[in-house]
Amino acid sequence: MVDTGIFATTEEVKRKAGSGASTTSATELYINDFMAQVESLINVICRYNFSDAYAGLNADVKGILKETASNLAAIYVIQYDMSGYASRIDAEDSINILRDAALRGLALLRDQIAVDFINAS
């Protein structure tokens, strides 16, 4: 099987999910499914189809998409099974950190001033 995500790779998601990630949810099959969901969510929240326009996007926009998508997909990997982490609190801390970064990325992607700045670079 190969990566089918546009914004981020399986390995990028695995790194963010950490060493406690379930061997089931950290498979390419599961992560491809999570990425499809996340990419659609980002496109709808931002009201712009980044997936279709990806090849022509600025490198900075691609970087924000990669960060945001991999953060959100890693949350799905972690929440699938938290038993591999040192404690549930460790897993929840990871989810909270990833969520905060994803929300920051979504805010940037939705902010027209930030988009204008990136496009002018």
The reported pLDDT for the residue numbered 121 is: 64
* Ordered per-residue pLDDT tens for the chain, 121 residues: 798 999 999 999 999 999 999 999 999 999 999 999 999 999 999 999 999 999 999 899 999 999 999 999 999 999 999 999 999 999 999 999 999 999 999 999 998 777 777 777 6
**How many domains are there within the chain?**
1
Domain assignment present for residue 64? The answer is yes
Give the range of the structural domain holding residue 22, as residue numbers without chain letter: 10-114
CA gap 32, 89 in Å, rounded:
27
Domain assignment present for residue 119? The answer is no
CA gap 11, 114 in Å, rounded:
28
- 60-66-71-76 Cα dihedral, nearest 10 degrees: 160
**Pair of tokens at residue 103:** 């929300």
pTM comes to 0.93
CA gap 1, 14 in Å, rounded:
16
Domain assignment present for residue 4? The answer is no
**Pair of tokens at residue 35:** 């990425």
